[in-house]
Amino acid sequence: MTSSLLGATGSSSIGRREFVFLMAMIQALQSLGFTTLLPAIGHIATDLGSDQPNERQWIIGIFLISSGLFSLVPGTLSDRFGRKPVLLFSMGAFAVINLLCALVTDFVVLLAARALLGMASCALTVLPLAIIRDRYQGDDMAKLQAFVATVFIAVPTLAPSLGFAILELAGWRAIFVVIGALTLIMMIWYHLRMGETLSPANRINRSSKDLVNNIRLVLGNRDAIGYILGMALVFGAHFGFITSSQQLIGESFGAGKAFPIIFGLMAGSMMVASLVNSAIVERFGTRRVGHTAMILYVIVSLLQVYFAWWHDETLIEFVLLMSANMCLLITIFINFTAIALQPFGKFAGAASSVHTFFRLVVGAGLGALIGQVYDGTSLPLAYSLLAVGLLTFVLVLFSERGRLFRRFART
């Protein structure tokens, strides 16, 4: 057992593999909060009295937006009070609110509950990143995050199929019960096996004004801000795909009940990309891999525009191109996260919160907009993917001062 995996305020018996799996599963709980519901959103909207086709997308969108809006809170709190108590509280709230969602009988009330659920979920993404950053940095962090992402992706890959199975067997309300139960299991596991990773010496025992200043420090860091904003834009287009995926694949392309399987296969391709990334990142460097993925993302997006506009696009063509886009997305996410958090040490919680805030608020807001302009074709999505790819390229050039493909300086 390496010292890097010992709790900072107490010992921990957790090993590297268990640590990776636990961090991934905690992050995946937030993803379960919306990917498991994808096959059921039509049933939910109908049962609760919503009759507008695109209105159902808010079941996903409001969850993501709320999560982003409050993602600044858990990181800064954890920088002051420690990672463990903040994460345990958030996991408990996430479990309870999911169970309450199973009892809702009105669509508007469900949306309000989903907003509360998003608030509770934000720590599930923010704090695992901060915990990893407590122990690793640079290419080492990128490699570990790649392993975490591999496990993390496996969960939403299977989630739509899991949601469909629960829907068929017990109805959509049971989906919330299952998510709540899984969260309680993860909460107990984390409490028993993980120590605190932020030492008392590195805690920021200052006023709320100082915590806000830490956020301003993150936003003012040129080396990080281009990656933070670029990631937000890329995820925005991806969220646009997620919110309209059931309508696009299941209805427009006529996949019907095969939608969960197709979505799972597409998401599964991201696991392959994550494994490839973990195998090559130490050899080529985080920036080289991330920047290459960003350029390829633009090229694939151009192909998506071509097939959506000039070509009579088929389901298989859409799936192949979108799968390639998703592979590049996870490669960008892994490497851009490591680059964005690299300049920060004891401010890792605040930095992770800012990163997640922009990724979810800008991303979910943009995703909701893309979902709402869905017109029965993949063209709005294709244009969005290309636009965010080009903007991300410009933002990265700003952070890198016009010079791509550099390596982290060795410390």
Does residue 147 carry a pLDDT above 60?
yes
Q: What would the pLDDT profile of 2-16 be if each residue is shown by its tens digit?
A: 334 443 444 456 777
The average pLDDT across 32-45 equals 88
The answer to whether residue 411 sits within a structural domain is no
Mean pLDDT for the stretch of residues 147-157: 68
Domain for residue 323, yes or no?
Answer: yes
Who has greater pLDDT, 140 or 48? Answer: 48
Residue 346 is classified by DSSP as T
Q: What band does 176 get if pLDDT is binned at 50, 70 and 90?
A: very high
DSSP label of 70: T
**Residue 181 banded pLDDT, cuts 50, 70, 90:** very high
pLDDT at res. 149: 66
Q: Which pLDDT band, with edges at 50, 70 and 90, does 38 fall under?
A: confident
Q: Residue 33 contacts by C-beta under 8 Å, 6 or more apart in sequence?
A: 63, 94, 98, 117, 118, 121, 179
pLDDT higher than 70, residue 209? no
CB atoms within 10 A of CB 367: 27
**What per-residue confidence (pLDDT) applies to 407?**
67
User: Which comes out higher in pLDDT, residue 68 or 327?
Assistant: 327
User: Following DSSP, what letter does each residue of 25-43 receive, concatenated?
Assistant: HHHHHHHHHHHTTGGGHHH
Distances (CA, A) of 339 to 148, 226, 283, 343, 396: 16, 10, 16, 8, 11
25 domain residue, yes or no: yes
Q: Whole-angstrom Cα distance, residue 106 to residue 47?
A: 9
pLDDT of residue 187 exceeding 70, the answer is yes
The whole-angstrom separation of Cα 355 and Cα 266 is: 25
Flag whether pLDDT at 88 surpasses 50: yes
On the question of pLDDT at 230 being above 80, the answer is yes
pLDDT-based confidence at residue 115 (cuts at 50, 70, 90): very high
Q: Is residue 404 part of a domain?
A: no
Of 32-46, 310-324, 338-352, minimum mean pLDDT range: 338-352
Higher-pLDDT residue of 275 and 289 is: 289
Bin 401: left if φ > 0, else alpha if -120 < ψ < 50, else beta.
Answer: left
The CATH number assigned to the domain holding 274 equals: 1.20.1250.20
Is pLDDT of 246 > 90? no
Percentages of the chain per state (helix, strand, coil), in multiples of 5:
80, 0, 20
The residue with greater pLDDT, 208 or 313, is: 313
Q: Is the pLDDT of residue 389 over 60?
A: yes
94 φ/ψ angles, rounded to the nearest 5 degrees: -60, -40
Quick check: is 222 in a domain? yes
What's the predicted TM-score (pTM) here?
0.71
**Residue 135 domain-assigned (yes or no):** yes
Evaluate whether residue 5 is within a structural domain. no
What is the radius of gyration, based on Cα positions, of the chain?
Answer: 20
Share of the chain above pLDDT 90, in %: 32
Q: Specify the pLDDT at position 375.
A: 80
- 78 versus 184: the higher-pLDDT residue is 184
Q: Give the number of domains in the chain.
A: 1
| pLDDT score, position 9 | 41
Position 210 pLDDT exceeds 80:
no
Mean pLDDT, rounded, for 40-59: 84
> Residues of the chain with pLDDT > 70: what percent?
86
pLDDT of residue 303: 95
Across the chain, what does the average pLDDT equal?
A: 83
CA distance 268 to 275: 11
Give the range of the structural domain holding residue 258, as residue numbers without chain letter. 12-199+211-399
Q: What pLDDT, on a 0 to 100 scale, did the predictor assign at position 244?
A: 82
- Two tokens, residue 17: 């593999």
* Residue 268 maps to a domain: yes
* pLDDT score for 150: 67
Q: What is the pLDDT of residue 8?
A: 41
The confidence score (pLDDT) of residue 18 equals 86
At 3 the pLDDT is: 39
Indicate whether 174 pLDDT > 70. yes
Q: Any idea which of 191-200, 213-222, 231-240 has the lowest mean pLDDT?
A: 213-222
Q: Element (H or E) spanning 239, and its range?
A: helix 222-245
Section 195-210 average pLDDT: 68
pLDDT over 80 (residue 347): no
